[in-house]
């Protein structure tokens, strides 16, 4: 068996630094495109407004129906 000499600490650090710089040469390729969160907020608020409107209309119909039942029971 041949004996191999281990690399020095400075050689290891140098290799790690060079490897790290190769990864950061083109960082724009790895950055995802930003999402337009403003659109989602507008859509979410519109849906909430429609849901609240529907709930209020159903509540109004139920209350009107209940009042009609109470009046006809008298």
Instruction: Read off φ and ψ for residue 26, nearest 5 degrees.
Output: -135, 70
CA separation, residue 23 to residues 17, 27, 29, 37 (Å):
10, 8, 11, 30
Domains of the chain: which residue ranges? 50-74
The residues near 7 (Cβ < 8 Å, ≥ 6 apart) are 15
pLDDT at res. 10:
79
pLDDT at res. 4:
76
pLDDT at res. 41:
73
pLDDT at res. 53:
95
pLDDT at res. 57:
95
Alpha helices in 1-74 (DSSP H): 9-23, 37-73
pLDDT at res. 15:
76
Residues of the chain with pLDDT under 50: 1
What is the pTM (predicted TM-score) of this model? 0.42
């Amino acid at each position: 068996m041949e004996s191999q000499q281990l690399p020095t600490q400075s050689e290891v650090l140098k290799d790690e630094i060079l490897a790290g710089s190769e990864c950061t040469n083109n960082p724009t390729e790895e950055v995802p495109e930003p999402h337009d969160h403003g659109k989602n907020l507008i859509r979410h608020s519109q849906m909430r407004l429609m849901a609240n409107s529907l709930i209020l209309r159903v509540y109004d119909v139920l209350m009107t129906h209940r009042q009609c039942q109470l009046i006809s029971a008298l």
